[in-house]
Amino acid sequence: MNKSSNTSWFYVVGNTNKGPCSLEILQKLLRDELPESTLVWTEGMNEWAPASKVAGLCSSDDSNPYAPPVLYVDDTSASGGFSLELPSQSFPLDIGYCIKKAWRHTCANFGDIFLFGLVYFFTYVISAGILKFLALAIDGDLQNSSSIGLMTLFTELLLNVFSVFLSLGAIRYGHRLLNGEKPEITVLFSQGRKLISAIVANILYFLMIMIGFLFLIIPGIIVAIRFSFFQQAIVEKRLGAIESLKYSWNLTRGNGLSLFGLIILSFFIILAGGLALLFGLLWAIPTWWLATLIAFRFLHCGANALEASPREQ
């Protein structure tokens, strides 16, 4: 954790993230307005934690009030800490570990994941239907010509933006699930403040891939793999567009082939799920999704990537 008194803090009121604010302001809010159970976060903390669990943050804490806040860590979890700091050296990605952990979490949380997937799917489908209906109503006369109406272009762009918005929420939901939490489905719609950074990063990511493919296929594949964790960096690290791409590039150093292997294995898992009368996709898709999130964690601290075990239903 960043122990500087000048660091920025965030806190939760209802289902809304507030901040950033200084340490002094947060302490005053906790004294005058907010309960000590308020979830808080600052750079270097593994996860959101109640203010009462952060030494020196609440007035009821018996420790030195002028000491920098330090997150209390239980002895039982100290050996399995998950840090979101770039490691000093690369951890060789264990593909089997990622798939095995993803499968365990999928099975243990299948009901929650299934419901979340339904909300995600129908939210996107309904939104796409409404936008396409509007485009057809306004540009209907152009449908049988070679021209493309402005409304059609606008709705396609808006749908792509909405897709990015949902993907950010899905990332946040997945990481909270991996922490052993039971996140609310509304987390899907909680990452709006990071949308601009994600849109810019997506555009840059697409352009870099296109440039890579202009120099034969291999450079394009390398670029696609090495920068693929930028959205997770935006969600979990609160980085900007360019910073998130740099972060992904540094995080994946030395693991390009392993990540490519994870992609290939995930493809066969989804293929197998599709062959199982499509019913297997209900397990295959969440396993692929969680495996990518676990890989992000694994590259930070190896096999200590998951502090929490899957919740037993």
- Please report whether residue 64 resides in a domain: no
- Please report whether residue 211 resides in a domain: yes
Tokens describing residue 228: 């693929």
Say whether both 2 and 110 belong to one domain.
no
Strands, DSSP E only, in the chain? 9-13, 16-21, 39-42, 49-50, 54-55, 70-71
* Tens of pLDDT, residue by residue, the chain (313 residues): 444 555 778 888 866 778 788 888 888 888 878 878 788 888 778 778 888 888 778 755 444 444 444 443 333 232 234 556 787 778 899 999 999 999 999 999 999 999 999 999 999 999 999 988 888 887 665 455 445 667 788 889 999 999 999 999 999 999 999 887 889 999 999 999 999 999 999 999 999 999 988 887 888 999 999 999 999 999 988 899 999 999 999 999 999 999 999 999 999 999 999 888 778 999 999 999 999 999 999 998 776 655 444 443 3
- Please report whether residue 65 resides in a domain: no
Say whether both 52 and 103 belong to one domain.
no
> For residue 38, what are the domain limits?
1-56
Say whether both 143 and 248 belong to one domain.
yes
Say whether both 42 and 183 belong to one domain.
no
- Please report whether residue 32 resides in a domain: yes
Q: Say how many domains are in the chain.
A: 2
Give the distance between the most distant pair of CA atoms in the chain. Answer: 75
Say whether both 24 and 133 belong to one domain.
no
- Please report whether residue 66 resides in a domain: no
Say whether both 47 and 138 belong to one domain.
no
Peptide bond between residue 219 and the one before it cis (omega within 30 degrees of 0): no
* Residue showing tokens 């935006």: 234
Say whether both 253 and 199 belong to one domain.
yes
- Please report whether residue 70 resides in a domain: no
- Please report whether residue 143 resides in a domain: yes
- Please report whether residue 83 resides in a domain: no
